[in-house]
Structures are given as C-alpha cells and as structure tokens.
Chains A and B, each alone.
Chain A
C-alpha cells in the first residue's frame, strides 16, 4: 500500500498516471469496438454490459454491506416491466421511464430491506428468494403487464435518435454502464461505502460509533435494487420482448454467482465476473464445435453417456469453472488479479 497523505487521495478516481492511461485506453477501446465487431458480438457485449450493471449493484449489497440476495431477478423484472409500461402506457420518454422504473425497484428494495434488518445467512436467502419468485407470479397475473403472454417493447426513440441496431444500443448501454460503475466506485469510497464496510465487518462496533445500521442496510438494498432496475429496463430493449418466465430463480442465482466469482467488494471484480460467467453462459453452447475437443466429447458420449444429452456438458463445464475459481481463490477473479500483480511487482524476488 502506498502512503496516503490526505483524504482526497482516497476518493480520487485515478491514483496515478498509469491508471489514467489505461482508463483512457479502455474507453477508446470501448468506443472503437463497435466499428470492428460484428452485430452478434455487439449483442453479446450489450448483454454483458447489462449483467455488469446488475452485478455491480448486487456487489454493493453483498460485497460491501455483507447481505445476501437470491431475489435480484425480481428487481430486474420490475425494472424491465416498469420501463416498458411507463413508456407505452404513460408515454414517458425513455430516460424518465428507465429512472422512474429503477426508483420503483429501489422502493421495493427498501421494503425488502426492512425485514432483512433482522435476518442473516440462510434466513435472508430464503426471504429474498421468496420475493423473487413472488414478483414474477404477481406480474404474470396483471393483464396490463401482458399477463403470461409477455410484452413487446415499443420502439426506442431518444430525441432525434432512433435506436434500432445492436450498435445503437451499444452506444446507449456502454456510457450508462461506465457511469454507473464510476458512481458505484465513488459511492464505496465515500461515507456510505465506509459505513457499509463497517457494518459488514463489525455491526455492533459500527453501531457504537454512530453508524445508522437501519438506514444504511436498507439503503444498500435500495441502491442495489436501483442498479438491477436499470439493468432490467435496458434488458427489455435489448431482448425486445419480455415475459414473466424469463426472470427465474436461476437468473438470481447467476447474478449472485457472478458477484462471488468476480470477487466480493471489488468493482473491477464484478465487471470481470459478470463478463466471464455471462460470456460462458452464452457461448458454451458451441462447445461441441471446438475442433478435436468436440469430436472427443462426442466419442466419449457414445461410449459412456448418451448422444442425446451431450449438450449438458455445458452445465458440467460451467459448474467446474465456478467450483475451481472458488476453491483456489476465495476472493474470486479479483483475488487472482491481486496475486498476479503482487507477483510481478516483486519479480524476480
């Protein structure tokens, strides 16, 4: 750790010229990417960006405040349905609808945070899980929301800009993602972030120091629900169709897995975790197309397993990667990064 001389050094965005350089390089790369990549790659990038938004928000709750949630698909659904309904029924412009829907999700997050004040561990897991399942049931019940038949999103027009292609969505999504990531980073460096960490590490000690436990815990829920709501609203437009069955428990579990695999309490970790698992989730279906490995797997299935179920190798690979990362590095991908950095800093000693 470098010596810090004043508080400003702790909250500033870029700690050194090197970081500035890489940050600028990253932004340029992100801006140039759509001109090099195919539309499919951009769709995937959009999808990953949405995951990143939700996971960063969830990390504030899980990594910083030390709570657990298996119900984030619920907030995600609220954001998606809220945005679409506010646009099509209330004729709100896109950004207003998106933010308003996310605020509704945040309000639900606040409400869910109230019982969470007394719960922890598996109790909290079951309570949030119940929330996620119930929300989709309720949405499916309401005819205004298209019931079980689902909803098509309206055309997305922001001012003079009519968003149609994946590239358009990319240019909408990436700035939002970057902004939200920076916002989250700043948040964790300020009073709120410190308070949350204090609660996570020693709740009673924090309380005696005057940290408002109730306020901050519910705030953490609300903030992470807000992020999930934004993610959901954007997801609806990337997919252009939503129905209640999309927002399953599996989705909530996936979000949680991304947070933990990426690394608790690290924004960079959340980004890499969301990208890695999201990418695997989308791309593993092609595992049998890989030369040699694919044919070998098929031969293996023929011999010992079944050809009809050969696609399920995806699940095995996905699970194995998750297990291995967690076995070797409790801090997830972020932990690997720290270790690698330390190793090279002191190399060759």
Chain B
C-alpha cells in the first residue's frame, strides 16, 4: 500500500512537467489548430539563455530566471511574426512541417552554442532534497513544479475566460472572420498566443533543467505533454493537466507492477485505447460535422 501511494505521488510529480508542456501546446492549438513540435525546443533555448546569464554573465538568479522568461515570450512572438505568419496558404500539415523545421533549427543553435555535454544549472532549489510526509517522499523541486503547473492552469483558465485578450483569443479560434469583423486583430492575437505558450513551455524547461540539462532534454517531456494534451482533448486546459497527471500515474503504476521495460510506451497504448472510445479526448466535446 505504501508503494502504491508512493507511486501515485511519483506519477503526479512527473505529470507536472508534462502538464506544463501540454498546456503550452494546447494554447497554440486552440487558436491555430497546429500541434507545435517546436514547443520543447523553444523551452530549451530559453532555458539555455537562463544558464548563459547565470554562468557567463554572472547574473543573480532572481534576475536571470525572469529575464529568460521574458526572452521566451519574445522568442514566441518573433517566431510567429517572422516565420509562421509568412506561410502562404498554409495547410495544417505544412504548418506541422514548419514547426518541425523550427525544432531542428533551434536544437541546432543550442547544440552549436553550448555543445552536447551535460550542463549543471545553478538552480536555487536542489533537485535532490526531499520532503517527507509520513512514509512518503516528494522532492522539493517537484512540489515547486506542481505549484507552477497548477498556477499556470488556473491563471490561464481565468485569463481565457474573463480577460479581454483571452476573450479575443477565444473569438479568434472560434471564428477568425467574425473576429476580424468585430475589430479583433487576429494576427496580433495569434502572436500573443505564441508568446504565452512559449512562456509556459519555458517554465517547464527551467524546472526540468536542474535534474538534467543537455540539448535533448525536452524531447521526451514534449512528446508526453503532447500526448497528455491529446488525451485531454487538445483544446481544454484542465483536460491537458488532467491528462498529464493521468499519464504520469499510469506510467508509474505500470512500471511498478507490470513491466518496467514497456513503461515508456504504455502511455501511447492507453491513449490509442482511450481514443477508440472517445475520439476527441476526455474533455473535448466530439465535433460531429453537420452537412
């Protein structure tokens, strides 16, 4: 029983970083229907910017981390403005390929600048400290990740529901033409979503970096985040978070009780099975085309 609960805790802990990336993907998908494969690498480059500020320019961490988050926002906006907006008559598949191309470019830049060797991120919280609740362990870094993920979800949820910009984003997603007619600058809105999404992704990157920091560190979390978002329905923020935790828990229980070898793929099998029952994910209403 102790094991079981510990596995649940571990599942939630690992789910938090999936959740952040899942949220980031959902934000972009909501407004442009593009699964952004460059999400992980956008976070990667922001994380390395934080590293560079700390190590090379000796910034104190209370400045370096906010600055890298600002950089993330700018990066998201710039990518949208200079690349994606320029696409002529884009198809969804074409946009996916563009994001894959961006992924390669960003990955190449980071590896070119910093090399492939592991780096050590000077993070204020050690990833190896843990808090004990009775018999159970949670590392402090994971608690922080959990808090950040939940905060991000709640803030963004409220933002989309109540703020003017959030409403405009929703309008853009539901009917771009009508939104334009109503005076919403849909392109600017799109740019803002890329900025926000990049910010959320970068926070995930920063929280992963104390444990592991090398150019390929975001690939696995990004895929899992994507899977979690799909599980939750791809357009729902709480859905992505719920999907992420479910995924983390399934992985840990499966790894603990059934087979550790297949742990990394069980998530996808579960998703295929789940999608057979609910083709549009757990939280999204299935969209039936009417003629």
Residues of chain A whose beta carbon lies under 8 Å from any beta carbon of chain B: 62, 68, 115, 118-119, 121-123, 125-127, 129-131, 133-134, 137, 141, 203-204, 249, 253, 256-257, 260-261, 264, 301, 304-306, 308-310, 312-316, 318-323, 326-330
Instruction: Kindly report which residue of chain B lies nearest to residue A130, judged by CB atoms.
Output: B268
Are B115's CB and A115's CB within 8 A?
no
Contact: B223 with A129, CB < 8 Å? yes
Point out which of B98, B226, B229 has the most chain A C-beta atoms below 10 A from its C-beta. B98
Q: A316-B109, A319-B108 are in contact. Are A327 and B97 (CB under 8 A)?
A: no
Query: Once the chains bind, are A316 and B112 in contact (CB under 8 Å)?
Result: yes
Instruction: Give the Cβ gap from B278 to chain A, nearest Cβ, in Å.
Output: 9
Q: Are B89 and A323 in contact (CB under 8 A)?
A: no
Query: What are 13 of the A-B contact pairs (CB < 8 Å)?
Result: A62-B93, A115-B276, A126-B230, A129-B268, A257-B101, A309-B113, A312-B111, A316-B109, A319-B105, A319-B108, A320-B101, A320-B105, A323-B102
**Closest chain A CB from B182 CB (angstroms):** 27
Which listed residue (A133, A204, A313) contacts B268, Cβ 8 A? A133
Q: Point out the residues of chain A lying under 8 angstroms from B53, CB to CB.
A: none
- List the one stretch of B80-88, B171-179, B196-204 in contact with chain A: B80-88
- Inside 8 A of A321's CB, which chain B residues have their CB? 101
Give B249-286 interface residues, CB cut-off 8 Å to A.
Answer: 261-262, 264-265, 267-269, 271-272, 275-276, 279-281
Q: Tell me the smallest distance from the CB of A88 to a CB of chain B, in Å.
A: 25
Inter-subunit contact B279/A123 (CB<8 Å):
yes
Q: Which residues of B contact A68 (CB under 8 A)?
A: 93
A270–B266 Cα distance when bound, in Å, is 33
For the residues of A in contact with B, the DSSP-based class is: helix
Once bound together, how far apart are the Cα atoms of A207 and B141, in whole Å? Answer: 54
Does B131 belong to the interface (CB within 8 Å)?
A: no
Contact A330-B88, Cβ < 8 Å, known A122-B234, A126-B227, A318-B104: yes
A119 cross-chain contacts in B, Cβ below 8 A: 275, 279
Q: How far is the CA of A269 from the CA of B262 in the complex (A)?
A: 38
For B89-127 the 0/1 string (1 means CB < 8 A from A) is 111111111101111110111011111100000000000
**CB-CB contacts below 8 Å: B222-236 with A:** 223, 226-227, 229-230, 234
- Residues of B close to A125: CB separation below 8 A: 35
Interface residues of B in 215-245 (CB under 8 A from A): 223, 226-227, 229-230, 234
Interface residues on chain B, size class: 35 or more
Is there an interface contact between A253 and B271, defined as CB atoms closer than 8 Å? no
Known contacts A119-B275, A323-B83, A330-B91; is A305 also within 8 Å of B234 by CB? Answer: no
Q: Does B1 contact A (CB under 8 A)?
A: no
Contact A126 B271 (CB under 8 A): yes
Please, which residues of chain B bring their CB within 8 A of the CB of A260? 93-94, 96-97
User: Are A257's CB and B108's CB within 8 A?
Assistant: no
- Please indicate the chain A residues that have their CB under 8 angstroms from the CB of B271 in the complex: 126-127, 130
The winner among A260, A261, A301, A329 for most chain B CB atoms within 10 A is A260
Q: Are A137 and B262 in contact (CB under 8 A)?
A: yes
On chain B, the residues within 8 Å of A131 by CB distance are 268, 272
- Do the beta carbons of A322 and B101 come within 8 Å of each other? yes
10 extra interface residue pairs, beta carbon distance < 8 Å, beyond A131-B272, A315-B111, A327-B87 = A119-B275, A123-B234, A125-B35, A127-B271, A130-B268, A130-B271, A137-B265, A304-B113, A327-B83, A330-B90
Chain B nearest CB: distance from A98 CB in Å?
28
Query: In the assembled complex, which residues on chain A have CB atoms less than 8 Å from the CB atom of B114?
Result: 306, 309
Interface-centre pick from A121, A141, A304 (highest chain B CB count, 10 A) = A121
The 3 lowest CB-CB distance pairs between A and B, nearest first, are A130-B268, A319-B104, A315-B108
The residue in chain A whose Cβ has the minimal distance to the Cβ of B227 is A126
B272 contacts which of A115, A203, A329 (Cβ < 8 Å)? A115
Q: Kindly identify which residue among B90, B95, B97, B276 contacts A257, using a CB–CB cutoff of 8 Å.
A: B97
Q: Once the chains are docked, how many angstroms separate the CA of A7 from the CA of B271?
A: 45
Q: A127-B272, A127-B275 are in contact. Are A122 and B98 (CB under 8 A)?
A: no
Query: B244 to nearest A CB, angstroms?
Result: 14
Q: Which residues of A contact B95 (CB under 8 A)?
A: 326
Pair B100/A322 contact, Cβ less than 8 Å: yes
Residue of A whose beta carbon sits closest to that of B117: A308
Tell me, rounded to whole Å, the shortest Cβ–Cβ distance linking A268 to chain B.
18
Chain B residues near A261 (CB-CB < 8 A): 97
Query: Which chain B residue shows the least CB distance to A128?
Result: B272
Q: B180: shortest Cβ distance to chain A, in Å?
A: 22
Pick from A304, A309, A310, A316: contact of B104, CB under 8 Å: A316
Chain B residues lying within 8 Å of A305, measured Cβ to Cβ, are 112-113
Chain B contacts for A249, CB-based, 8 A: 223
What CA separation (Å) do A249 and B111 show in the bound complex? 20
Check if B132 is an interface residue, CB within 8 A of chain A: no
Note all chain A residues with C-beta closer than 8 A to B108: 312-316, 319
Distance between Cα atoms of A123 and B279 in the complex (Å): 7
List the B side residues contacting A123 at CB < 8 Å.
230, 234, 275, 279-281
Give A249 to B103 CA distance when docked, in angstroms: 14
Contact of A118 among B87, B276, B289 (CB under 8 A): B276
Roughly how many angstroms separate A319 CA and B29 CA in the complex, as a whole number?
22
Tell me whether B291 is interfacial, beta carbon within 8 Å: yes
Q: How far is the CB of B87 from chain A (nearest CB, A)?
A: 5
- A315 to B108 alpha-carbon distance, docked (Å): 5
B contact residues around A314 at 8 Å (CB): 108
- Asked whether, in the complex, the Cβ of B29 is within 8 Å of the Cβ of A326, the reply is no
Contacting residues, chain A, for B276 (C-beta < 8 A): 115, 118
Q: Which residues of B contact A319 (CB under 8 A)?
A: 100-105, 108
Q: How far is the CA of A68 from the CA of B272 in the complex (A)?
A: 15
Q: Mark B40-76, 1 if CB is under 8 A from A, else 0.
A: 0000000000000000000000000000000000000
CA distance A203 to B288 in the complex (A): 12
* Most chain B CB inside 10 Å of its own CB: which residue of A62, A261, A306, A327: A327
Which A residues touch B269, using CB under 8 A? 130, 134
